[in-house]
A and B are shown apart, each in its own frame.
Chain A
Amino acid sequence: MKYIKFLIVGIFFGIVLVKSEAVSWYRIYEMFRFESFHMYGIIGTAVATGIILLLISKQLKIKNTEGGLMNVPAKEKGLVRYLLGGSLFGLGWALSGACPGPMYILVGTGVFTMLIVILAAVLGTYAYGVLKDKLPH
């Protein structure tokens, strides 16, 4: 039962991303060609709303359902991993048109060939885990 709330959030997430067309390969292509404001509008208003929500919750010291203060995990300091890892992800995102959220969502829309992309992404993550200590971070 305690997982139902996560299921509901997931369902809501899937619906919003399909209805916004952010799961569309075409929208990602169009974004990287700077030929539409659509994706920038989505990300821009998401971040603006997110900043406001997080600031308000901090000001009001809103507690989360676990009883602690609301907390966003801090990313480690660094440069190389973010620039290099980010670029590799960007290459894959533009090619497959799907980042990790939409991958799952698109399976729900009936695109079963996406399972190949998901399997390859799991392999990519595994390769990173194996090579982690040899890579610059």
Chain B
Amino acid sequence: MEYILNPWPWYVSGPLIAIIMFMLIYMGKTFGMSSNLRTFCTIVGAGKKTKFFDFDWKSQRWNLTVVLGAVIGGFIAHFLLSNPINIDLNPDTVERLSQLGFEDAGKSLLPAEIYSWDAVMSLKGLSILIIGGFLVGFGTRYAGGCTSGHAITGLSSLQKPSLIAVIGFFIGGLIMVHLIFPLIF
């Protein structure tokens, strides 16, 4: 039981993620989480004006069900299957975060400096969440996939476009962490 309650090592988690991808393909579907964002647009009627959203969203009910499951899974893992253990971050990372103003790095999944309601109530905090989310939604659809669709499924099926997309993910991520973070934090 301790093995389950403690954080899972990468060599257990990685293969399990591949099995999740494989199960969805075995069920005649595919592993792609960002597609659901498009489905949400269609559900609220975006298809009436914009062709990109004009499709039968009910054909995506299976993927919305995966999303519902993911929320439930997050609840189960966090509240029922986890010892309260800090994330074992590199001390250099923790030190650097502390310089940027992030206290308690690794003591929770997400930094309170960004995700607490206090932080969200400030203009800066709210802007971070909105800009971050907007870029994820815009970028994933522009690139035709996210970490699940490109990095896991696309690379596993040896597709060149996915390799280019993953290189793009890293270009963006490196620019944000190394060039933009020092400016905003």
Contact = CB atoms under 8 A, between A and B. Distances in A.
Nearest to B71: A108
B89 interface: yes
Contacts of B20: 9, 12-13, 16
A105 to B, nearest CB: 4
Given A107-B74, A128-B52, 9 more contacts: A15-B81, A32-B177, A46-B156, A75-B154, A88-B142, A96-B114, A100-B146, A127-B134, A129-B41
> Most chain-A CB neighbours within 10 Å: which of B14, B15, B21, B89?
B14
Contacts, number: 500
Contacts of A40: 10
Contacts of A66: 27-28
Interface residues of B, number: 124
Contacts of B137: 92, 120-128
Contacts of B70: 10-11, 13-14, 17, 101, 104-105, 108
Interface footprint category on A: 35 or more
B157 A41 contact: no
Interface of B: 4, 7-30, 33-34, 36-38, 40-41, 46, 50, 52-53, 61-63, 65-79, 81-82, 87, 89-90, 92-93, 96-97, 105-106, 109-111, 114-117, 119-120, 126, 128-148, 150-159, 161-162, 164-178, 180
A83 B65 contact: no
B171 A83 contact: yes
B87 A21 contact: yes
A46 B128 CA distance: 30
Given A18-B73, A100-B37, A85 B168 contact: yes
B82 A37 contact: no
B112 to A, nearest CB: 10
Nearest to A43: B151
